[in-house]
Structures are given as C-alpha cells and as structure tokens.
C-alpha cells in the first residue's frame, strides 16, 4: 500500500536537512543580486492566485491533470535542484526556460516523440529522464514516475508510485554519495 503523501513530504524535509548539498528548494527566496554571481536567479514574489492560474494554464496546455504531490510542489516552491539537475517547475505562462514543465514536456514531445501522457520531471544530462505517467492514477490521485534511459529508448520503467516518493527515493540514493 502506498505511503500517505504528508508522511512522504515530512520524510523529504528530513532528508533535505540531512543532505542540503544534494537537494535544495528555490522557494521564492531571492538570490543576492549584489554579489555579481551570473548564475543567480532572482525569483519575483508570486501570489497564490497567480501560481494557481499558472498551474491551470500548464495543465491545459499539456492536456493532463497533475497529481496532488506535484501540484503541492508547484504551488509551494519555485523549483528545486536534485544533485545538479533541475526539476521541471512553473515559470509562468510566457516562460521560455527548458526547466519550465510546459516547455520541457513540449520539447520532449516534439523532439523525441514522447507520449502525450508523460510529463517530464528531470533530464539527467540526456542519458536518463524521469516522467510523471498521467495515464495511471491511484486512489490518492497520484501518478507513478517512470524512468527512461538512452540505452533502452523504447522502455519506460516504473521508478516510484508518486512524485514525492520519487524525490525521497532519489535523495536517499544520491545523498550519501554527493
């Protein structure tokens, strides 16, 4: 039986504090614009209403419904990095960054022929990609996360039962080694 989503988010926060260099939220905390670091991204404050509109627009453009744990992530954080790989997030309806979930998924659909029910979460330097498989929904409304590898391009293997379980599992795998 799948774990409750709230327990998985609590475990994720505990792992995040244990491995801060592996996993970091970009939770509307601005980078320091005065330190001349060209890699800083300064996030503007986004209201809950605006974020809710972005979420609805993203789901409409992709013709899918996001599962509750991914919606929770998108509504509460501007993004996250996992061992140097950015997790697809919401950057607004006019976003052009490949880290925006609509842009990333649309590119994969056009360039790679990815199926329309798959939503790209993470691209690990092109060799491995993780997707939400929205064709399967459990009793919690959650979708599994599947993994695609370049060495077997016609195969998608189930990796986790939900988005948050995916984050927990990847953090447990990467944390001690990063």
Strands, E, within the chain: which ranges?
Answer: 23-25, 80-82, 85-87, 118-124, 128-133, 145-149, 152-160
Per residue in 154-166, is it b (16+ CB within 10 Å) or e — as a string?
A: eebeebbbbbbbb
Q: How much of the chain exceeds pLDDT 90, in percent?
A: 37
Cα–Cα dist 91/50, whole Å: 11
Cα–Cα dist 36/3, whole Å: 44
What is the CATH topology of the domain spanning 5-177?
SMI1/KNR4-like (3.40.1580)
Task: Quote the DSSP letter at residue 89.
Answer: B
Question: For 10-37, how does the pLDDT look when each residue is reduced to its tens digit (9 = 90+)?
Answer: 888 888 788 777 766 554 333 444 444 4
Band (pLDDT 50/70/90 cuts) for residue 1 is low
Cβ–Cβ < 8 Å for 142, 5? yes
Task: Quote the DSSP letter at residue 177.
Answer: G
Average pLDDT over residues 114-137: 91
What is the bridge-based pairing of β-strands 128-133 and 145-149?
antiparallel
Question: For 70-84, how does the pLDDT look when each residue is reduced to its tens digit (9 = 90+)?
Answer: 999 888 876 788 888
Least confident of 61-65, 67-71, 79-83, 160-164: 79-83
- From the CB of residue 4, how many other CB atoms can be counted at a distance below 10 Å? 10
Give pLDDT, residue 64.
96
Taking the CA atoms of 102, 108, 113 and 117 in sequence, report the sign of the dihedral they define. Answer: negative
pTM of this prediction exceeds 0.85: no
């Amino acid at each position: 039986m799948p774990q409750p989503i709230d327990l998985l988010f609590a475990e994720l926060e505990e792992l995040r504090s244990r491995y801060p260099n592996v996993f970091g939220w970009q939770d509307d905390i601005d980078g320091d614009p005065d330190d001349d670091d060209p890699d800083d991204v300064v996030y503007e404050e986004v209201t809950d209403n605006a974020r809710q509109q972005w979420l609805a627009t993203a789901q409409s453009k992709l013709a899918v419904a996001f599962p509750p744990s991914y919606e929770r992530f998108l509504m509460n954080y501007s993004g996250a990095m996992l061992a140097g790989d950015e997790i697809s997030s919401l950057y607004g309806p006019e976003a052009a960054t490949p880290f925006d979930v609509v842009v990333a998924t649309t590119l994969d659909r056009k360039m790679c022929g990815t199926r329309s029910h798959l939503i790209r979460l993470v691209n690990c330097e092109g060799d491995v990609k993780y997707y939400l498989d929205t064709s399967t929904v459990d009793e919690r409304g959650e979708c599994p996360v599947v993994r695609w590898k370049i060495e077997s391009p016609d195969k998608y293997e189930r990796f986790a039962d939900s988005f948050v379980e995916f984050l927990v599992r990847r953090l447990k795998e990467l944390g001690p080694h990063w």
